[in-house]
Structure 1
């Protein structure tokens, strides 16, 4: 996860918290967090990066809509990140 941008890491967490969200679902959630509009030119290339790094799986809901799901490697990356953070932040 150390090679991801903060935005990509945030996308990973949003995907982890949902059940096969569509790109639009992810966009809506991340826009709420960032309090700004996220354009498709920013969102989808970053989602593709997560897919290419085998952190996220991409599938088809229908001909027009894809879904995203956390891959095992993505789950492991989040767990490793949380362990690393816990060294510095006591929750």
Structure 2
């Protein structure tokens, strides 16, 4: 959230008319509301998907998973790497 706030401030401080900046911010907030770091349903059954979402959005890093099992860390790392490869057309 802190990173998003800084990005919003930068957007509002940038060049362009006040109305252009307003509508860009409105669009950006609308898009960001759906991101994992902003809204999540917390439950055990959603834990892996939540962690994967936080990792892929850059909210947390794999280094921050040290308290979790080796099996879970490997699984998330594999899925994240596979997802990134697919996004870049490397698979």
TM-score (norm 1): 0.29
- Higher-RCO chain (CA-CA 8 Å, sequence separation at least 6): 1
- Structure with the greater alpha carbon radius of gyration: 2
TM-score (norm 2): 0.29
Higher helix share: 2
